Amino acid sequence: MRTYKWLAILCLTGHIANAQVGRYEVEGTLTSKDNATKIYVTPLSITGGGFGYQGIMDSAVVMDGHFRLTGTIDGPKYVQLTLVTAGVVIESRATERRNILRMFLTPGKTRILGDSIFSRSQVAGSALNDEYKMLITMSGHYDAILRPLHDHYYDALYHADIPVMKHYNDSLNTIKLQRMQAFAGFVSAHNNSPAAILAASLLSEPGNIDTLFSAALAHSPDGLAYSKKQEAHRPKMKTGEKVPDFTLTGADGKKVSLSGYAGKYVLIDCWASWCGPCRNEIPFMKKLDAMIKGSSFQLLPISVDTKKEDWMKAINEEQISGWTNISDLKGMKGIVPTLYGVQSIPHNFLVGPDGRLLAENVHGIALLDLLAKYLPVNDKQ
C-alpha cells in the first residue's frame, strides 16, 4: 500500500495525549415520538474496529422526554448513546439504528437536542463534537455519492459486464481520491482533535505508517489502539518475496500443491460458500479465466469453509466444478489464511512463475489490468 506523507500530521500533542480527569454532564431532551424509558452509554473504539456492544459505561432513566448523565472520565471518550424501551435488552444488534447516537463524551456540560429520529439529534456545547459532526457530515456526503456507484459496479461485476465495470470503476476511483483528500484535509485542519484519529481510521487505505504519533499520544489508550490496529492489518508478505508452499485436498479428493504450478502465474483466491461478495465475484472470475485461458495461468480457488457439504453445494450452484477447488476445511484457521495473513475474504494473491508475490488483494477491473501486464488477454470473450 502507498504511504501518504500527510498522515504524519497526526503526531498530535493536544488534548488527547494530555487529557485531564474531568466530570461530564449530558442533558438530553427527546421528542414525544421516542417513547424511551432508559438511555445507555457504551464505549466505542476510536479506530473504528468496535462498533458493537462493549459493556455499559453509564445509564439514566428517561422521564417526560428528559434524561441526565453524569460521571467522571480521564479524557474524551468515543461513545454510543442508545435509547431503549421497557423490556428491551441493551445490545447493539437488537437495537434499531435510529435509536443510536454516536458522539464524544467530554468533560464539561453537553446538551442533546432530540430529533424525531434520535440518531439525528444535535450535540451541543462541545467543540470536539462540532468537529465530529463535520467529519460525519463529510463522510455521509461521499457515502451518498459512492453508494449508487458501488451498486452499479457490483451489479456489472455479477453479470461480468466488463465495459460497464470499467465505466463505474473510473468514477469510483475519482470519488475515492476526492474522499481521501477531504479526510486528509480534515486531519490537517483538526490535528489536535481525537476526531483526527477517527478520520484516519475511516480511510480505506491509510498507508504504511512507521511513525505516527508524538510520544505522549503514542502511549495514550487511543494512540496504542490505533497503532495496534495498523500493525495487525499490515500485509504478512511483501511484494517480491517467495510465498510459502502448501498442499491441500481438492474437491475430487486429490492432493494439490502450490509448488506443482511452478513456472505459471497462479491466482490464489480465498473464498467461502457463506461469503456473498466472494460469490458475487464468481461470474467475473469465470469470464476472466476464459479470457486468459492458457498453460501459463492457473486459477486456484481456496475455500475457507468448515463443512464439506456447504463447499460442494456452492461449487455445484456456481458451476465451477471445472476449476481446481481446494480446501482443508479449517475455516480462517486453515493453513493458507494462517501462512498468508488472510483476515477477511474475498482475498487473493497473484504469484509469479518464480513463486514470488506479484500483488495482493486486487479485484475486479484492477485485477484484469494487473493480469494483462503479464499475460495475453482475449477481450473478445
DSSP string, 10-51: G---STTTTPPPEEEEEEEE--TT---SEEEEEE--TTSS--
C-alpha cell at 24: 461530564
Pick the range with the lowest mean pLDDT from 221-230, 244-253, 329-338. Answer: 221-230
End-to-end CA distance of the chain: give it in Å, rounded.
32
Mean pLDDT of 277-282: 96
Per-residue model confidence (pLDDT) at position 16: 45
Q: Comparing C-alpha atoms, which of 287, 306, 301 is closest to residue 371? A: 287
Please say if the pLDDT value at position 214 is more than 60: no
pLDDT band at 54 (very low <50, low <70, confident <90, very high): low
Mean pLDDT of all residues belonging to the chain: 84
**Would you put residue 242 in left (φ > 0), alpha (ψ -120 to 50) or beta?**
beta
Contact between residue 50 and residue 39 where contact means Cβ atoms under 8 Å apart: no
So what's the pLDDT on residue 379? 64
Q: Is the pLDDT of residue 88 over 70?
A: no
Q: DSSP secondary structure string, 204-218? A: S-----S--S-HHHH
Task: Give the three-state DSSP class for 99.
Answer: helix
pLDDT, tens digit (0-9, with 9 covering 90-100), for 100-154? 899 999 999 999 988 878 888 999 988 989 999 999 999 999 999 999 999 999 9
pLDDT (mean) for 307-311: 97
Give the pLDDT of residue 6: 36
Over residues 73-97, mean pLDDT: 74
Type and span of the H or E element at 230: helix 221-232
Task: Evaluate if residue 69 carries a pLDDT over 90.
Answer: yes
- Between 103-112, 198-207, 236-245, 260-269, the lowest mean confidence (pLDDT) is in 198-207
Bigger pLDDT: 6 vs 269: 269
Q: CA 43 from chain center: how many Å? A: 19
Least confident span in 227-241, 258-272, 321-335: 227-241
pLDDT for the residue numbered 215: 55
Kindly write down the DSSP assignment for every residue of 145-175, as one continuous string. HHHHHHHHHHHHHHTT-HHHHHHHHHHHHHH
87 vs 287, more confident: 287
Q: Which of 321, 254, 310 is nearest to 282 (CA)?
A: 321
pLDDT reported for residue 35 = 72
Stretch among 35-49, 71-85, 120-134, 251-265 having the lowest mean pLDDT: 35-49
Strand 22-29 to 66-73 pairing? antiparallel
Per-residue cell: 25: 454532564
Q: pLDDT tens digit string along 172-210?
A: 999 999 998 898 778 777 777 788 788 877 765 554 333
Q: 33 or 30: which carries more pLDDT confidence?
A: 30
pLDDT of residue 228: 76
Residue-level pLDDT at 207: 43
Which of 371, 170, 379, 162 shows the shortest CA–CA distance to 284? 162
- Look at residue 271 and tell me whether its pLDDT is greater than 90: yes
State the pLDDT at residue 193. Answer: 79
Q: Is the pLDDT of residue 63 over 60?
A: yes
**What CA–CA distances, in Å, run from 166 to 136, 245, 367, 381?**
30, 34, 12, 16
Residue type at 304 in one-letter notation: V
Rounded-to-integer distance, Cα 199 and Cα 178, Å: 14
Alpha carbons 350 and 243: distance in angstroms, whole number: 10
pLDDT digits (tens, 9 = 90+) for 344-355: 999 999 999 999
Q: Which of 8-22, 104-118, 314-328 tops mean pLDDT?
A: 314-328
Q: To 5 degrees, how large is the angle CA 68–CA 72–CA 193?
A: 95
